[in-house]
Every structure is written in C-alpha cells, then in structure tokens.
C-alpha cells in the first residue's frame, strides 16, 4: 500500500507509512499536505527529465497522432506552434484516393479516403492510413506508392 493520510483527533492530518510501519508526518494542514504532494511530484518530474529513456522522440508523436479529437488544421497549428516544419506530403486527411500497384488485381482501383499520412522515419516512405468507401468500420495502412489521388486519374 505504501502510505495513507488520516485525519487526527485535533482535525489536522498525519501520514502513515506501511513501509516503516510508523507515522512519518503529523499535524499537517490541508495546504501542508498539498505542498507535500506537489514537492514529491516536482521531484519525480525532475528525476524523469534526467532519464534519457523517459522522453520519447518527436517522430513518435507524428506517427501516433490521430484526428479523432482534433482536426487536421488544428494539428497543423499545433505543429507550427511547436516549431515543427512538416514536409509537404502528397496526401492529406479527407483526400479521395484509389489503390494501385496491388498484387491482387481485384484490389486495384478501390476507392478510399485518407485518414492521416506521415513520413515513416524508418523507411523514409510515406505511410497513409485510409478508410475504404465500402468498409467504414476499419482503417488500413498503405505505402503512399500504392495510392493515387482521385483527381490525378
């Protein structure tokens, strides 16, 4: 369990630690307790920021971002505010595309809408998440080379 806070008979707070099986703080006001928690949070944050494994590369943010809770234009505003200059990508959310270069000929020409696109840093290719017109409940990842914009037929 670690520790818990209890209200003392005099109305103030104490902290009991199950690690040492003893009271470690007594006569805390609510403000004292809040400051104790805040200082521990500051110490943890300082520790985390010194740990090289704690901070993820920004590319991960780019790859993980979805447009379920923000629009593409809002995302572009955030990127600009964060100092990121996104390279011009051939696909943007909402673009209508069709599949090309598919091994299965029945898969060629399927219409879809772009959900998101980004440059994959590992492959240096454009990855595009699409939603097929006839399959609204799922999205699929495609390499940008396997898609063509509808207006470029």
Q: How far are the Cα atoms of 11, 28, 104, 143, 146 from residue 126, in angstroms, in the given order?
A: 62, 57, 21, 6, 10
Residue 31 or residue 133, greater confidence? 31
- Can you give the pLDDT at residue 1? 65
Number of other residues whose CB lies within 10 A of the CB of residue 115: 20
| CA dihedral sign of residues 138, 132, 64, 77 | negative
pLDDT tens column, 50-72? 999 999 988 888 888 887 788 88
User: Which residue ranges form the domains of the chain, and what is each CATH number?
Assistant: 3-50 (no CATH), 58-152 (2.30.30)
Q: Which tens digits make up the pLDDT trace of 85-125? A: 877 788 888 889 988 877 777 777 888 898 888 888 788 88
Per DSSP, 87 falls in state P
């Amino acid at each position: 369990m670690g520790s818990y806070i209890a209200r003392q008979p005099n109305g103030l707070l104490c902290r009991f630690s199950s690690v040492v099986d003893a009271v470690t703080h007594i006569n805390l006001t609510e403000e004292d307790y809040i400051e104790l928690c805040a200082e521990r949070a500051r110490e943890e944050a300082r520790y985390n920021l010194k740990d090289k494994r704690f901070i993820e590369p920004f590319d991960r943010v780019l790859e993980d971002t979805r447009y379920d809770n923000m629009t593409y234009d809002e995302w572009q505003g955030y990127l600009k505010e964060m100092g990121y200059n996104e390279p011009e990508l051939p696909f943007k959310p909402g673009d209508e595309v069709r599949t090309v270069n598919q091994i299965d000929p029945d898969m060629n020409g399927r219409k879809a809408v772009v959900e998101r696109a980004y440059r994959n840093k590992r492959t240096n290719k454009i990855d595009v998440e699409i939603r097929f017109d006839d399959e609204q409940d799922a999205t699929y990842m495609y390499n940008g080379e396997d898609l063509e914009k509808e207006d470029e037929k």
